[in-house]
Structure 1
């Protein structure tokens, strides 16, 4: 008889528990041990997202009042543990490992070796990195920068794993050098947002602030899994759900974190093993089907508005806002009316009934937030998808 399959065999066991809870705390401990974080450095965790500490490099979720010592999540622990690791990559490591051989390792495997102890420079003849002293490293950088015809020929990339303080000093240096070429992980993740929104709303950043979540009665969440990518958002969504906010998850994959969440910040849930229901509705478009889905919502909203007017009911469209603050609305509506429902359903991967129900949720909401992640921004139709979503939101002011 064969033994029970394991994850190493490609077998994924069913997960029946809520997101977070004791499982998250378990993996906090696992990551601290795996990174070999030395004893005294554990206290670093208690300075995350504190007034006298530092912002977590795990994600960009903002802070309210710091009412808890544990203002961090599993992802934040991973990020800080990677910074505080005692694992080191010395010049001897590179003497034993040619770059060609290192290229065969995955990004994960490379990171597990640890942190550099010296500045290193590539020796093409030996196919190895070799150590140089700091003065020589700075001089090498300076020679290359001075050799450029213009500062704009250089690009200065930084990762979201860098601290706010380090990133601030870095951009001061680069601006003093004479350029603002700062491609970073935000560009990579949300370039579609910063390209799409200026055309529709005039700014390239989100217009919602954290306090808006306290007043929202409807939250539409497109294409991101908070439990995996920014778990602290689940704490905010938990509070919204407990206030009765209608939360809709719009994602091809039905994520457990959007179903049920056990908050490590709340002792009652941890002790009893209970959880909070997050999303009340799930819509699962096919990959890349978001544009058609959202356009279908806009088309259905027009049809619902027509029916409301015929019944003598108030309009579902904020006509005052539209006429005063937008342009091109009539052409936009004409395009929606001309769209074929069969095409929308096929391209979205959903049903008309699902689009109708989702539009009804949006139409009934008085204070609606639409938020999105890389499920919208990381495909070839991302810019028009962001634009159609912002247009949908502006239809109701």
Structure 2
């Protein structure tokens, strides 16, 4: 076999996920961002009952038996926020926006914490300081001159329940349901699909279910990077000999081997634990076919040995089974194999393990949702679980893996462009104004309105809106055509530099910082992926005396915009208990809110499906027939590949902590394209060649040029490139029509030797 050429920044990484590599990376993050004396105490408060909720992921807290409750990427998130670095008015005075735009996303956020409210001055091309009250007054003046539906209210998943509730109240009293949020770009397919199948838009499992499950099926996610605290749970399950069957296009180290940094034995012996008992590399866009294949194999097992399906559950709790069965019977194995990239025998092995298990959990991430048929994919997973009654019993259920630490909570407290009539009626009853009833814009619709010129203002409660969306060639210029942009955040990002006619940049308190209002320390609340609501209270001194809390910023803008409002905005911002009282009055499930969040661990929101109560129109869990086998637009051509956009290990959404992707063997760079050896060979390419990528869709030409192809263990027919850089290949309208979720995970592309080689 020929020796693989040496490529700068590319080298094999042989260690397991976690272990000493994770401890070294944590130490590096601490050294580069924080005081070495302050950092340990801060990290030890992470995810503790009297501390703050980690901003890094939405995995729930386990019982507090271990020394620490943070992981490597959680430590990066905490130190990134609690950094000693500062971005002051003096910095902005000497750094024009046009110059800052030439810096990388990593360089921008690494500058440090924002310290003062700022306004963009076009004459000098710089941000300049402004007093809070003056900024609020000007924003209110502009908004009163616009029509409500010309204004978009974006929400990041890091906002607390309290801030998000005030945000939706502000927008609805103003007169709009335009609520683009980060969920629109990741798990909106879950929020739309699950209610249709099981009557609620959230997962059904608890952390305790993982303690008694007999099988875990993992589809389309990389927990070591995107929800790393899950690795402790998978580690424990594997050591109990629970089979973990993985369907994923890439071989991800965390799903192969993991060394728990809290295991003295593994750390002392440089040992690790195998995670996946079976690893099937389904090709990009092949999830639906694979799931249908497993279900078809299950029906065949039922025919041959009997007593495989849970007929009692199906009869009592579901409808639509016969239609599903008929569709699976006429779906042919050769077609399933071609669409999934798996062999019939592979899917039969999964079905056999599933038939043997009395309690199965299916976990999934954005590899399932970010497709043209993402909502249908979610419903297919429900079908699979219902065939054996794996909903509403211990150790079983569906587990969507959210990213942001409160993206689920934001939805619970009203951040939705499609509010229910009952919720709007409650708002009217409690607050005395009539909120708008029509559906508003989601994230893609918001950007389309900005491009068309019908949206005039964008208010962002955190996030990196234009960078997170596909198609920067359209999105970035659209920001500049707005009359008004308002950005609330802790650190500088590219979205803040895509300045509009008038642009305000507001620094807010971070999750790690002490929030004192009227002399009293406040706690916020968040909801994790398993519907646990709990308190979070930072302890660090704020990065600047000029910071305001998110509730205070929202209240300040609302008071200035709505001078006749009957809402006591300033009183609410001064006492978060009062915000929670209003949440309790208007949203079911928050009974005794203030009392219950003062109990360590908090409380769980009602989940009817866990009690086998189905809040669907029929009162039953609904089987779904997926038409055909393709979850994405079919594009003919033997040379067409499917592009998956990926996060690196040193990354959280659009936040890039460093330029390494340790587990994939990439160091100091992000301009790489992961390809299988078979796909390299068929194109006459070699590991390390420069290539160009071109999107194969109708419309304008979309290209990513001069990217280095590297050989990787990825399913043939699939290629991977880093997000957000590869967003330049994703059309804005390439979405799941049911949920509006962009299809980042299966873009049809062609790869060719670079014109610049």
Q: Assess same fold via TM > 0.5.
A: yes
The C-alpha deviation readout for 1:301-344, integer Å capped at 9, x for no partner, is: 111111124xxxxx211111112221221111111111121111
Matched, 1:274 2:266: no
- Give the Cα–Cα distance (whole angstroms) in 2 for the partners of residues 370 and 285 of structure 1: 16
Q: 1:328 aligns with which of 320, 328, 335?
A: 320
Contact 1:37/1:81 (<8 A) preserved: no
- Give the Cα–Cα distance (whole angstroms) in 1 for the partners of residues 284 and 239 of structure 2: 31
* 182 and 74 in structure 1: CA distance in 2 versus 1, 3 angstrom threshold: farther
- What's the CA shift for 1:349? 0.8
Q: How do 1:39-54 residues align onto structure 2 when only pairs under 5 Å count?
A: 39-54=37-52
- Give the Cα–Cα distance (whole angstroms) in 2 for the partners of residues 113 and 11 of structure 1: 24
Which residue pairs with 2:110 in the alignment?
Answer: 112
- What's the CA shift for 1:178? 4.9
Which residue pairs with 2:337 in the alignment?
Answer: 345
* 266 and 181 in structure 1: CA distance in 2 versus 1, 3 angstrom threshold: farther
Q: 2:194 aligns with which of 187, 194, 197?
A: 197
Matched, 1:265 2:262: yes
Which residue pairs with 1:294 in the alignment?
Answer: 291
Matched, 1:372 2:364: yes
- Give the Cα–Cα distance (whole angstroms) in 2 for the partners of residues 18 and 237 of structure 1: 14
The C-alpha deviation readout for 1:116-161, integer Å capped at 9, x for no partner, is: 11111122333322211122222233334444544x654433334x
More helix by share: 1
Contact 1:288/1:381 (<8 A) preserved: no
- What's the CA shift for 1:368? 0.2
Q: How do 1:6-21 residues align onto structure 2 when only pairs under 5 Å count?
A: 9-21=7-19
- Give the Cα–Cα distance (whole angstroms) in 1 for the partners of residues 57 and 106 of structure 2: 19
Which residue pairs with 2:347 in the alignment?
Answer: 355
- Give the Cα–Cα distance (whole angstroms) in 2 for the partners of residues 346 and 16 of structure 1: 32
For structure 1, the residue ranges without an aligned partner over 5 or more in a row are 310-314
2:154 is paired with a residue whose SS is: coil
- Give the Cα–Cα distance (whole angstroms) in 1 for the partners of residues 210 and 151 of structure 2: 40
Supply the RMSD in Å over aligned alpha carbons: 2.0
* 24 and 380 in structure 1: CA distance in 2 versus 1, 3 angstrom threshold: same
Contact 1:221/1:370 (<8 A) preserved: yes
Which residue pairs with 1:23 in the alignment?
Answer: 21
Q: 1:390 aligns with which of 379, 382, 387?
A: 382
Matched, 1:171 2:171: no
- Give the Cα–Cα distance (whole angstroms) in 1 for the partners of residues 209 and 144 of structure 2: 47
More strand by share: 2
- What's the CA shift for 1:181? 5.4
* 122 and 72 in structure 1: CA distance in 2 versus 1, 3 angstrom threshold: same
- Give the Cα–Cα distance (whole angstroms) in 2 for the partners of residues 273 and 42 of structure 1: 24
- What's the CA shift for 1:41? 4.4
Which residue pairs with 1:100 in the alignment?
Answer: 98
Q: Which has the higher contact order (CA 8 A, sep 6+)?
A: 2
Contact 2:153/2:171 (<8 A) preserved: no
Number of aligned positions between the proteins? 382
Contact 1:121/1:129 (<8 A) preserved: yes
Contact 2:30/2:39 (<8 A) preserved: no
* 286 and 135 in structure 1: CA distance in 2 versus 1, 3 angstrom threshold: same
- Give the Cα–Cα distance (whole angstroms) in 1 for the partners of residues 50 and 58 of structure 2: 18
1:286 is paired with a residue whose SS is: coil
